[in-house]
Chains A and B, each alone.
Chain A
Amino acid sequence: QKEVEQNSGPLSVPEGAIASLNCTYSDRGSQSFFWYRQYSGKSPELIMFIYSNGDKEDGRFTAQLNKASQYVSLLIRDSQPSDSATYLCAVNRGSNYKLTFGKGTLLTVNP
């Protein structure tokens, strides 16, 4: 079982729609969870982090965490073509200073 799993996609949504990106993790000791966006040829850019169960909103982005189900998601409202990128989920045990990444989901927002 992979430590962090994401659907590789591509996930294609029309402009203005809600994009839903999902991530599951296997280590129950994971304590903090991060979403990064990576444009082609660029380095990952931190979008959000979450460590409590429930929802965390920041602008058009909402991160959702369910530790019992070992599941974290990212919702992007009012998707824009500029949101087209690979979205990486990363988890951290909190004490080992290491991020474990999923392989990412490629999102395409069609105008």
Chain B
Amino acid sequence: KAGVTQTPRYLIKTRGQQVTLSCSPISGHRSVSWYQQTPGQGLQFLFEYFSETQRNKGNFPGRFSGRQFSNSRSEMNVSTLELGDSALYLCASSPGLAGGLSSYNEQFFGPGTRLTVL
């Protein structure tokens, strides 16, 4: 089974620009989560989507947004880029079924998109 794919793998942008990152989850997985990883803050949760609905959102400004399509592919957008947005953006895929303590909430990460803001 193919893993999580993310495109592009690397991006260089300048301050004030906007960027769109894409994530394709593992086949059959309906949940996609996005995380930002920086050396100082570590891995931080951005948001999670299931069946085209955002179910949870982290503590990031409104410049960070996302969406999910009917085929479970997801995009995240960052508008008005700031230097501090330079990070590795990771997408994680999960079956995403509701409730319980089963392995449904195992999250599998894609390779990430390395964003550099100049």
Contacts and interface: CB of A to CB of B under 8 A. Distances in A.
B106 A97 contact: no
A96 B56 contact: yes
A97 B100 CA distance: 11
Main secondary structure of the interface of A (DSSP, over half): loop
Interface stretch (A17-25, A43-51, A68-76): A43-51
B105 A97 contact: yes
Contacts, number: 62
Interface residues of A, number: 25
Overall SS of chain B's interface: strand
A92 B105 contact: yes
A104 B50 CA distance: 28
Interface string A85-111: 000101010111111111110000000
Given A43-B111, A96-B56, A98-B33, A49 B43 contact: no
A62 interface: no
Interface of A: 31-32, 34, 36, 42-46, 49, 51, 88, 90, 92, 94-104
